[in-house]
């Protein structure tokens, strides 16, 4: 069984990507299941096979503990770890090739609190990988690109799984896409784009960060997809196979 944790900033396209990857694997004769781990979500673009909302009810938390929506979300995120055994049993009973885990909208509640980390590290699976989504609409300058790369690196440090950087919404940023892909492919071109920024103080800081991230192996290129047109899905699935199979080699 291969488990793919789909992470990224709020609204970056985690749930839509989950639905499209489920479809992709089904079309390619693999059995994939969707695990919704976002207790606060209302509408999903797919029917989850397993749903954390069956275990954790935000409205009940709000009423029982007199919490506002954010407090309830925080408590709900902390409760995810307590449901691991039940969720794992449900997953195991389905015997899937791929488990696609759609993680909570507010990434800090999942990745930076102990519960999410506990869930990722204790979830039993032959291989695990994380996709970190760069929201294409947020990558509007080289400085923004570096700041989201920092967040991606931080998630990698926290979750400690092999990770893929994925740029979504490529259909909405067709004109900017070549430039962003160039930054991701070559540190020199990212540095030269940073040199042209007017904000010289932040640009200098970003260049230092880029060098450190690159040395630490945190800047390993980005794959661009559109969950609307499915452009880029072939590359994404090939990259997922590679990183999941590598895990298999290490484990065996
Ligand atoms: N055009 C376009 N829109 C996208 C793409 N991916 C996601 N969207 C849209 O972006 C919005 C947010 O997508 P979601 O999949 O709900 O994002 P999310 O990360 O799950 O959001 P939260 O769980 O609320 O954090 C929706 O309106 C999607 O239709 C894409 O590749 N192209
Ligand atoms: Mg979502």
For the CA of 10, the nearest atom of ligand 1: 25
The whole model's pTM is what? 0.94
CA 103/CA 28 separation, integer angstroms: 24
- How confident is the model at residue 108, as a pLDDT? 87
Query: Ligand 1 pocket, 207 CB below 6 A?
Result: no
Which helix (H) or strand (E) segment holds residue 224: the answer is strand 223-224
Ramachandran angles phi, psi of 114, nearest 5°: -65, -30
Query: Ligand 1 pocket, 20 CB below 6 A?
Result: no
| Alpha-carbon torsion (44, 50, 52, 53), positive or negative | positive
Residue whose CA lies nearest to ligand 1 atom number 3: 169
CA 239/CA 111 separation, integer angstroms: 23
- Contact assessment for residue 52 and residue 91, using Cβ atoms and an 8 Å cutoff: no
For the CA of 226, the nearest atom of ligand 1: 31
Q: Where do the structural domains in the chain lie, given as residue ranges?
A: 2-251
Query: Ligand 1 pocket, 44 CB below 6 A?
Result: no
CA 20/CA 212 separation, integer angstroms: 34
Among 243, 252, 94, 17, which residue's Cα sits nearest to residue 6?
Answer: 17
Residue the block writes with tokens 């390993």: 220
- How confident is the model at residue 245, as a pLDDT? 83
Tokens in use for 194? 């940073």
Of 44, 227, 231, the residue with max ligand 1 atoms within 8 A of its CB, to mutate for a pocket test, comes to 227
Q: Where are the alpha helices (DSSP H) in 66-199?
A: 69-79, 84-94, 107-111, 114-122, 142-159, 177-185, 187-195
CA 122/CA 103 separation, integer angstroms: 16
The set of residues, in sequence order, having a beta carbon less than 8 Å from that of 81 and lying 6+ positions away, is 114, 115, 116, 118, 119, 122
Query: Ligand 1 pocket, 171 CB below 6 A?
Result: yes
Q: What is the pLDDT along the chain (252 residues), one digit of tens a residue?
A: 999 999 999 999 999 999 999 999 999 999 999 999 999 999 999 999 999 999 999 999 999 999 999 899 999 999 999 999 999 999 999 999 999 999 998 898 889 989 999 999 999 999 999 999 999 999 989 999 999 999 999 999 999 999 999 999 999 999 999 999 999 999 999 999 999 998 888 999 999 999 999 988 888 899 999 999 999 999 999 999 999 987 444 333
The fold adopted by the segment(s) 2-251 is Rossmann fold (3.40.50)
């Amino acid at each position: 069984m291969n488990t793919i944790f789909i992470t990224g900033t709020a609204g970056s396209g985690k749930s839509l990507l989950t639905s499209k990857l489920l479809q992709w694997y089904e079309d390619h004769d693999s059995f994939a299941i969707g695990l919704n781990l976002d207790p606060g979500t209302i509408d999903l673009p797919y029917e989850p096979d397993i749903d954390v909302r069956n275990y954790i009810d935000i409205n009940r938390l709000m009423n029982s503990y007199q919490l506002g929506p954010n407090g309830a979300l925080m408590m709900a995120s902390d409760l995810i770890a307590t449901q691991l055994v039940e969720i794992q049993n449900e997953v195991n009973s389905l015997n899937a090739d791929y488990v696609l885990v759609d993680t909570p909208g507010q990434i800090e509640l999942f990745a930076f609190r102990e519960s999410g980390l506990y869930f990722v590290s204790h979830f039993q699976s032959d291989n695990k990988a994380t996709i970190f989504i760069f929201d294409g609409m947020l990558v509007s300058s080289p400085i923004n690109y570096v700041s989201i790369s920092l967040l991606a690196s931080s998630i990698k440090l926290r979750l400690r799984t092999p990770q893929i950087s994925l740029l979504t919404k490529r259909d909405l940023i067709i004109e900017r896409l070549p430039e962003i892909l160039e930054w991701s492919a070559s540190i020199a071109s990212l540095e030269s784009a940073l040199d042209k920024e007017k904000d010289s103080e932040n640009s200098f800081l970003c260049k230092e960060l880029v060098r450190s991230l690159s040395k630490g192996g945190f800047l390993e290129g980005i794959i661009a997809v559109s969950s609307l047109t499915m452009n880029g899905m072939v590359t994404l699935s090939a990259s997922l196979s590679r990183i999941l199979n590598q895990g298999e080699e290490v484990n065996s």
